[in-house]
């Protein structure tokens, strides 16, 4: 990680951003909140797009003037860790909807893919380059398909039904790591360590 | 029967709602307006609290068909209210796969002693509280989210402020207690030692805590956030006002940037008329006194 702490901006317009900050700080990174445009004045080594409600976050990104500057940074290669709602912000296409948000990740994502809250579940599974990690899915999306150059990091079956098919729940595309589940809700820090390695 | 995993998942959903605004809606059209304005979730109910207050009489769980209409209209989580202690209403709400049940003092209580045993349910529950004891008792019963009771349907923030401050003071007091004092405090609060111990060690509730009851303006929302609320419920404040869509969007932004007074000043311009409101001295029915 070098002498200087990596500076990680955590999108903090709505959702579970404090949980990410806590883990990043425990790993020796500097985490700060992005709530409005002036928060982008400082140097940024990485970006976290946390869980929450993607409709709310998407709207606030525009209302607060954050959308274009953040999209530009992602396109230019800023390392990004996106979880749940954050993945919906990144995906090029949202199944069944005409609108996308940043659209920087060549993939089709399905929102609330496991149904309502009763479909939320917890399991443990392998993630490529990382190992076995706890996976908490809260009204989670999954990837229906991914485009060229997108590496699938994890396929997981919902534990709700015995014969549930495996779905793509974690991918990496260049500078973007996108997870349907919430590594910030467990004490395991291996996903965040993997992200900080990408940050350099 | 809910297991520990399910309870964690339900607390996790509340974490995802943090920094958000949950809005009362009575029709699919209102639900769409709320979602477009940036609501993190909607609360489906037949009448908003101000109208329940005006109409009087017994108020109950909403028609499941109306709730389903709202579930179909939006993609964000949908909550609905059942009466305090009315576990059969809660069973019905679980059967239609509601995302969160509010066992709420806004409706007429069905039981004047017992709350619902929320541990028996797979769907999550949010409950109102006006002090730490009430909050912890609801959590003991299985609530995975707490909100201040405030005084619903009044547009008067004074009670929500009182409840939030009281909870914070009681949490601070427990945090500074000697360990041997915690046992007695648990007895006084009528909750388990483990819960009191958690508050002592973490200086917070074990679940997410929102503000509710009387929020009518962006400034009200910012006030509650600065007092430590992790998000805000807005009931009558939006759809009883002059321009619901604009007011809703302004409150959403105020919750995100609750310390930026310049921004909130701008957000507060030209919102049209706020709900008229009733002062606490003018109301005959104190809903916050229901369910202790």
Mean pLDDT confidence for B74-83: 97
CB atoms within 10 A of CB B15: 23
Question: Residues A87, A88, A91, CA angle at the centre, nearest 5°?
Answer: 85
Task: Please name which of A39, A164, A185 lies closest in space to residue A114, comparing C-alpha atoms.
Answer: A164
Task: Please name which of B42, B102, B108, B119 lies closest in space to residue B75, comparing C-alpha atoms.
Answer: B42
Buried b (16+ CB within 10 A) or exposed e, B143-169: bbbbbbbbbbbbbbbebbbbbbebbbe
What percentage of chain B carries pLDDT values higher than 90? Answer: 83
From the CA of B16, how many Å to the nearest CA of chain A? 4
- Note whether A36 contacts B260, CB cutoff 8 Å: yes
Q: What is the pLDDT of residue A158?
A: 87
Chain A positions touching B98 (Cβ under 8 A) are 116-117
| Residues on B contacting A at a C-beta cutoff of 8 Å | 5, 8-10, 12-13, 15-20, 35-41, 71, 75-77, 94, 97-100, 122-124, 249, 252-253, 255-257, 260, 263
Does residue B278 register a pLDDT over 80? no
Cβ-Cβ contacts under 8 Å for B56 (sequence gap 6 or more):
none
Task: Please name which of B222, B75, B213 lies closest in space to residue B156, comparing C-alpha atoms.
Answer: B213
Mean pLDDT confidence for B178-195: 97
The 3-state DSSP class for residue A183 equals: helix
pLDDT tens column, B1-54: 457 799 999 999 999 999 999 999 999 999 999 999 999 999 999 888 888 888
Task: Please name which of B119, B84, B114 lies closest in space to residue B102, comparing C-alpha atoms.
Answer: B84
**Residue-averaged pLDDT of chain B:** 94
Q: What is the pLDDT of residue B292?
A: 87
The interface predicted TM-score of the complex, written ipTM, equals 0.94
DSSP code of B282? Answer: G
Does residue B90 register a pLDDT over 90? yes
Mean pLDDT confidence for B245-274: 95
pLDDT tens column, A60-98: 999 999 999 999 999 999 999 999 999 999 999 999 999
Chain A positions touching B123 (Cβ under 8 A) are 117-118
Q: In chain B, how many H helices and how many E strands?
A: 13, 8
Does residue B171 register a pLDDT over 50? yes
- Note whether B18 contacts A16, CB cutoff 8 Å: yes
Q: What is the pLDDT of residue B164?
A: 98
Mean pLDDT confidence for B73-90: 98
Query: Which stretch, B10-19, B55-64, B147-156, has highest mean pLDDT?
Result: B10-19
Chain A positions touching B41 (Cβ under 8 A) are 53
CA B17/CA B100 separation, integer angstroms: 11
Chain A positions touching B20 (Cβ under 8 A) are 14-15, 52-53, 56
Q: Is A94 exposed, middle or buried (0-12, 13-18, 19+ CB in 10 A)?
A: buried
CA A104/CA A116 separation, integer angstroms: 27
> For B38-102, where are the alpha helices, taking DSSP H only?
49-55, 64-73, 87-95
**pLDDT band with cut points at 50, 70 and 90 for residue B152:** confident
Question: Residues B280, B43, B283, CA angle at the centre, nearest 5°?
Answer: 15
Does residue A171 register a pLDDT over 60? yes
Does residue A3 register a pLDDT over 70? no
pLDDT tens column, A126-161: 999 999 999 999 999 999 999 999 999 999 998 766
**pLDDT band with cut points at 50, 70 and 90 for residue A163:** confident
From the CA of B267, how many Å to the nearest CA of chain A? 11
Mean pLDDT confidence for B113-119: 97
**Residue-averaged pLDDT of chain A:** 95
Q: Tell me the backbone φ, ψ of residue A39, rounded to 5 degrees.
A: -70, -15
Q: What is the DSSP string of B99-152?
A: SEEEEETTSPPS-SSPPP-GGG-SS-EEEEESSHHHHHHHHHTT-SEEEE---T
CA B218/CA B91 separation, integer angstroms: 35
What is the enclosing helix (H) or strand (E) of B61?
A: none
Task: Please name which of B269, B160, B167, B266 lies closest in space to residue B215, comparing C-alpha atoms.
Answer: B160
Mean pLDDT confidence for B240-261: 95
Task: List the end-to-end C-alpha distance of chain A, in Å, as a whole number.
Answer: 6
Q: What is the pLDDT of residue B1?
A: 45
- Note whether A112 contacts B9, CB cutoff 8 Å: no
């Amino acid at each position: 990680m070098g002498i200087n702490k990596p500076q990680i901006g955590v999108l903090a317009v709505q959702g579970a951003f404090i949980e990410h900050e806590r883990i990043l700080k425990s790993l020796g990174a500097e985490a700060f909140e992005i709530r409005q445009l002036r928060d982008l004045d400082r140097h940024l080594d990485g970006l976290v797009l946390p869980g929450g409600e993607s409709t709310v976050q998407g709207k606030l990104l525009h209302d607060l003037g954050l959308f274009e500057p953040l999209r530009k940074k992602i396109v230019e290669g800023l390392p990004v860790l996106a979880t749940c709602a954050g993945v919906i912000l990144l995906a090029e296409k949202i199944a069944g909807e005409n609108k996308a948000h940043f659209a920087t990740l060549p993939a089709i994502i399905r929102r609330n893919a496991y149904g309502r809250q009763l479909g939320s579940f917890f399991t443990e599974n392998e993630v490529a380059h990382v190992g076995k990690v706890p996976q908490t899915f809260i009204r989670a999306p999954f990837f229906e398909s991914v485009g060229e150059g997108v590496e699938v990091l994890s396929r997981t079956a919902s534990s709700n039904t015995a014969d549930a098919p495996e779905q793509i729940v974690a991918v990496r595309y260049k500078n973007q790591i996108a997870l349907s589940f919430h590594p910030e809700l467990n004490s395991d820090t291996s996903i965040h360590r993997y992200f900080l390695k990408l940050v350099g | 029967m809910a297991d520990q995993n399910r309870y964690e998942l339900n607390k996790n959903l509340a974490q995802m709602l943090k920094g958000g605004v949950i809005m009362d809606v009575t029709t699919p059209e209102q639900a769409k307006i709320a979602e477009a304005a940036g609501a993190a979730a909607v609360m489906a109910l037949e009448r908003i609290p101000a109208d329940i207050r005006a109409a009087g009489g017994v108020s109950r769980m909403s028609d499941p068909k109306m709730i389903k209409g709202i579930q179909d209209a939006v993609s964000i989580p949908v909550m609905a209210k059942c009466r305090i202690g009315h576990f059969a209403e809660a069973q019905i709400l679980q059967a239609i796969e509601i995302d969160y049940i509010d066992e709420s003092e806004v409706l007429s209580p069905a039981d004047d002693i017992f709350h619902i045993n929320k541990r028996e349910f797979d769907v999550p529950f949010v409950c109102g509280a006006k002090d730490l004891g009430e909050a912890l008792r609801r959590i003991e019963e299985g609530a995975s989210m707490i909100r201040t009771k405030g005084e619903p349907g009044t547009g008067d923030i004074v009670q929500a402020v009182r409840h939030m401050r009281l909870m914070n003071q009681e949490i601070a007091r427990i945090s500074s207690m000697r360990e041997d004092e915690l046992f007695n405090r648990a007895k006084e609060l009528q909750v388990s030692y483990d819960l009191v111990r958690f508050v002592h060690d973490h200086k917070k509730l074990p679940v997410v805590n929102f503000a509710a009851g009387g929020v009518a303006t962006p400034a009200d929302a910012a006030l509650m956030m600065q007092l430590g609320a992790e998000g805000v419920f807005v009931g009558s404040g939006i759809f009883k006002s002059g321009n619901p869509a604009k007011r809703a969007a302004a409150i959403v932004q105020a919750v995100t940037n609750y310390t930026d007074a310049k921004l909130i000043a701008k957000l507060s311009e030209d919102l049209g008329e706020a709900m008229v409101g009733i002062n606490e001295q003018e109301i005959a029915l104190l809903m916050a006194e229901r369910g202790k």
